[in-house]
Structure 1
Amino acid sequence: MISISANLNIMIKAVEKASKSIIRDFGEVEKLQVSKKGPKDFVTKTDKHVEKILIEELSKIKKNYSFVTEESGIIKNKDKDNTWIIDPIDGTTNFLHGIPHFAISIGLKSKGEMISGLIFDPIKDEMFFAEKDKGAFLNNQRLRVSKKSALDECLFSSNHEGVKFSSLNMRCSGSAALDLAYVASGRLDGYFQNKINLWDVAAGSLMVKEAGGIVNNLDQYDTYNIDIKASSAAINDKMLENLKNF
């Protein structure tokens, strides 16, 4: 059995609670697809509701930790050394269109470094998590990045509009958090995107590192404007060479 920290335990309980309303609301979205008005307002409500549950649950035990969240922004509490970084639904557009590919993402930053990350895909029931120096896991199975070394055998993801890299096999999944979790689990070989928000990549960047991959330094960017490049160690140099003009 994997030993997990008290903080990660709190994160798991919070996402399990919040995911119940996501699953329920996703069922409703299916019905709203065919209505004239569409589900947009409804999904915004879900986003805010899920974030509210996560903040409440995380604050129950860690009353003073601060927050950086998608909906509420920066919440400074007494403890500024420890910050929860939350994306209530990463992949909102997929959710909105009834596409079952989205996740709840929570990262914990302590004294300037990421120490815990959790990405939960409630529809596929896949719980990805990582802790600094303890490895990365999917539903209790240890994760390792891909070992492929030939670029033409690799698969990459970027949600960058209009980006065409003729030499790389590309996907655009609509969820940065899951893309990073998939790099950590070897399903994808690399992920890159410019001008992305911290809450989209906080948990996933730790996960990739803990699974043996490489992520560029994110601390040089501000919260709302991060350029991320993440991949397995085997192809990192080749990927960066391909992305020189990106």
Structure 2
Amino acid sequence: MARSALLNVMVNAAIKAGKSLTKDFSEVENLQVSRKGPADFVSKADLRAEQIVFTELQKARPTYAFLMEEGGEVAGTDGQHRWIVDPLDGTTNFLHSIPLFAVAIALERANEIVASVIYNPILDELYTAEKGGGTWLNDRKRLRIAGRRSLADAVIATGIKTQGTSNDSLQLRQLAHINPAVAGIRRSGSISMDMAWLAAGRYDAVWEAGLAPWDVAPGLLAVKEAGGFVTDYAGTIGSVWNGQIVAGNETLQPILLKQLRSVQ
């Protein structure tokens, strides 16, 4: 595939941050960690990776704004463009030496996600998407969402929040309701990787709530450009702001949505 100049900037930033994370991953036992909340950690690895991404993107496009998991909002003068960054999606996995995590970057233009990168440096998997240009794995394989049409044949991913969060009891009820209807449910610990694997046809659907914009934005475009559909629990077209994802192909997504909406 031929990348645009903007996508090249994003890929280069993600790969540089990935190299830093790979180094830290090999020494994870020695990382200095502080607790932000239940099962939500921030480490020096997150901060280093985010600083790398910020520096690279700002150098290339100094007028663009930022929304980052660790660093928050940084105003820009452009008025139309904003980078949305999760430097380490899957921090708990990372800190337990589980190699399912990603650097995730999205570009928002006039309130629409137009480009995204999801990079897992340990698996060496680079997922890229641009509006109208499809979703690609390692620049070589154009991805299409799987075509399964029955929940009974589907493997579905979700994020099960820890106890004490506002969504935990609802999610457990959803899990109990959906589990008997599907071939399997997976919980990876990284929503960006879940959405990338949905785009790649490894998963058949994904649902989750309680998400931040940086959790949603990169995977949202990856799934759409691979032929998938994304809404919230109300059936509204997926947004980075509503914190909910129900995603799948044109057949399974509405079936899963109907199942979820029946759970109160």
**Normalization by structure 2: what TM-score?**
0.85
CA offsets 1:122-170 (integer angstroms, 9 cap, x no match)? 0000000100011000012000000111211101111123343332321
Matched, 1:209 2:224: yes
- Please name the residue that 2:156 is paired with: 156
Contact 1:119–1:181, Cα closer than 8 Å, also in 2: yes
- Please name the residue that 1:80 is paired with: 79
Matched, 1:11 2:28: no
Residue ranges of structure 1 left out of the alignment (5+ in a row): 33-37
Q: Distance in 2 between matches of 1:17 and 1:63?
A: 18
- Please name the residue that 2:127 is paired with: 128
Q: Distance in 1 between matches of 2:14 and 2:221?
A: 18
Deviation at 1:81, TM superposition (A): 0.9
Matched, 1:242 2:262: no
Given candidates 214, 219, 243, the residue that maps to 1:199 is: 214
Q: Distance in 2 between matches of 1:43 and 1:51?
A: 11
- Please name the residue that 1:25 is paired with: 24
Contact 1:214–1:231, Cα closer than 8 Å, also in 2: yes
Matches for 1:170-209 after TM superposition, within 5 Å: 170-209=185-224
Deviation at 1:3, TM superposition (A): 1.6
Q: Distance in 2 between matches of 1:149 and 1:215?
A: 16
Secondary structure, counterpart of 2:66 in structure 1 = strand
- Please name the residue that 2:238 is paired with: 218
| AA aligned opposite 1:155 | V
CA RMSD, 1 decimal: 1.6
Identity within the alignment, %: 39
Q: Distance in 1 between matches of 2:4 and 2:256?
A: 34
Contact 1:156–1:188, Cα closer than 8 Å, also in 2: yes
Q: Distance in 2 between matches of 1:231 and 1:8?
A: 25
CA offsets 1:169-223 (integer angstroms, 9 cap, x no match)? 211100000000011010001111111001011011101000000011234x73x
Given candidates 221, 231, 245, the residue that maps to 2:248 is: 231
Contact 1:117–1:207, Cα closer than 8 Å, also in 2: yes
Contact 1:39–1:96, Cα closer than 8 Å, also in 2: no
| AA aligned opposite 2:238 | L
Q: Distance in 1 between matches of 2:115 and 2:227?
A: 16
Q: Distance in 1 between matches of 2:225 and 2:55?
A: 28
| AA aligned opposite 1:218 | G
- Count of residue pairs brought into register by the alignment: 236
Deviation at 1:234, TM superposition (A): 2.9
Q: Distance in 1 between matches of 2:213 and 2:75?
A: 16
Q: Distance in 2 between matches of 1:132 and 1:122?
A: 24
| AA aligned opposite 1:67 | F
Q: Distance in 2 between matches of 1:78 and 1:237?
A: 40
| AA aligned opposite 1:186 | G
- Please name the residue that 2:110 is paired with: 111
**Normalization by structure 1: what TM-score?**
0.91
